Amino acid sequence: MDYILVKHQFRNSVKDVQTLPESDIDSGHNLPVAKIYTRLKKVIRFRKGRSRWDLEKLYAQQQRVQDTLEEKLGAVGCESGNGEVQWNNIEECVLDTISDLVPKVEKRAKIHGLHRK
C-alpha cells in the first residue's frame, strides 16, 4: 500500500494517479505518480502611494515655479551627451523645483461607517 500525501487544500487539484511498475529491487512497494493541476492565486500587494503635490498651491505659485525652473534649466544648458543624460538632468531640475516650492497633499483619514452631523 502506497499513498500520495497531499495537503488538504490541494486535494481537489489531484486529477490522475498512476503507479509505475516495480523496479529491479525486491520490494512490494509501487511508485505512485500523480498529475496535479493548480492555479496560483494572484497576490495583490499594496504599493507605497506616490506622494502628490498640492496642485492648487502649484497654480497659485505658477509664475514663481516657472521662473525658478527656467533658471535651473538655463544652468544645465545644452550639454553634449546622449539624450538619456539630458532627460535625467531635466527631470531632476523639475522635481527639485516642485519639491522645494510646492507642498505635498496631506492624506485625510477615512472614516467608515460613521456619520458626521
Q: Has this prediction a pTM greater than 0.75?
A: no
pLDDT in tens, the chain (117 residues): 456 677 888 788 888 888 877 666 677 777 788 888 888 888 888 766 666 788 888 888 888 888 988 888 887 766 667 888 888 888 888 888 888 888 887 776 667 665 555
Locate the domains of the chain by residue range: 1-38, 55-101
Burial of 97 (0-12, 13-18, 19+ CB in 10 A): buried
Report the first-to-last Cα separation within the chain, whole angstroms.
Answer: 71
Nearest-Å Rg of the Cα atoms of the chain is 32
